[in-house]
Amino acid sequence: MAICATDRSAWKEKSPPAARPSPALFDRAGYCQIGTGSSPMAAAPSSEAMWASSSSSLPAGGGGPACVFVIPTVPRVARSHAWDWAALLLLVAADALLNLIEPFHRFVGAGMMADLRYPMKSNTVPIWAVPIIAVIGPMIVFVVIYIRRKNVYDLHHAILGVLFAVLITGVLTDAIKDAVGRPRPDFFWRCFPDGKAVYDNITTGVLCHGDPGVIKEGHKSFPSGHTSWSFAGLGFLSWYLAGKITVFDRRGHIAKLCVVLLPLLVAALIAISRVDDYWHHWQDVCTGGVLGLVVASVCYLQFFPAPSDEKGIPHIADIYILANGSFRG
């Protein structure tokens, strides 16, 4: 039941320590803010934001200020994270810029071509399919869970978290690609599409006469972007599912573990396809996988507690941000 007090100091002395809200409370509750006024966000000078069940009743008799329930909505929660959404736009711009930059053209000599003569093949997993698998796919899972639990915070944080995971990973991946400039396994055919190799007489360096765009892409082998994006998005989904189905409840349900590992298996298969298509060396996909999984883990823990601690509900700080405009822990 919501607690309303006209005397803040008296309430602090007599009230027992507040218990942490249960996961069910997040699923069915708004927050109660002490104060009067027509606006849900209007507060008395001594306002305190507290969680209260949406089924709680208001104080009878009209004595004292009323508790006003503010039902969370996606726009309201999104506004409290306006700077986060702005940061996402900056990441998109940064990644676009990195793709326009000419990568470092690492020296490639005649003696190095033995490992760079693999045939050019089309992508088993097209580049346009990666965002669908690693971003849209997890979002569909988030929406399905939202339809069942009706938790706006969970939906918003999950979407924001997976977008941060893939975009941060994308910026790091493309920045490393441009800086390293490692040639792809099929670099010979990118450099000499007619099969007639031409080398510098002094340095034995390649004198490419292929399409400049194809050659530019040939210097972006390390790390694998397909792999890093896949492990970022699907790795985040694995963390999310682990929290939702409480995979670490120590009850020995192997089926739960299989559900959590399934997205990682899909990401691993995408990584293997990059080696099979001769677009990447094995070191490229291993590094990309680790990079994506690390970023996914950091982003998940930024918005959700560890699955072993809670049932995957979002961090509580947003409650106070929405109520008071800032977090006072």
- Asked if residue 185 lies in contact with residue 121, where contact means CB atoms within 8 angstroms, the answer is no
Q: Which two tokens stand for residue 82?
A: 């306006």
Task: Identify the CA nearest to 168 among candidates 91, 239, 86.
Answer: 91
What φ, ψ does residue 53 adopt, rounded to 5°? Answer: -65, 140
Cα–Cα distance, 230 to 240 (Å, whole number): 15
**60: Cα within 13 Å, side-chain hemisphere:** 1
- The kind and range of the H/E element at 201 are none
Helix residue spans in 245-313 (DSSP H): 254-276, 282-303
Question: 70 burial class (0-12, 13-18, 19+ CB within 10 angstroms)?
Answer: middle
Residues annotated as catalytic are 226, 280
Task: Identify the CA nearest to 167 among candidates 134, 129, 124.
Answer: 134
Residues paired with 51 in a beta bridge: 31
SS3 category, 51: strand
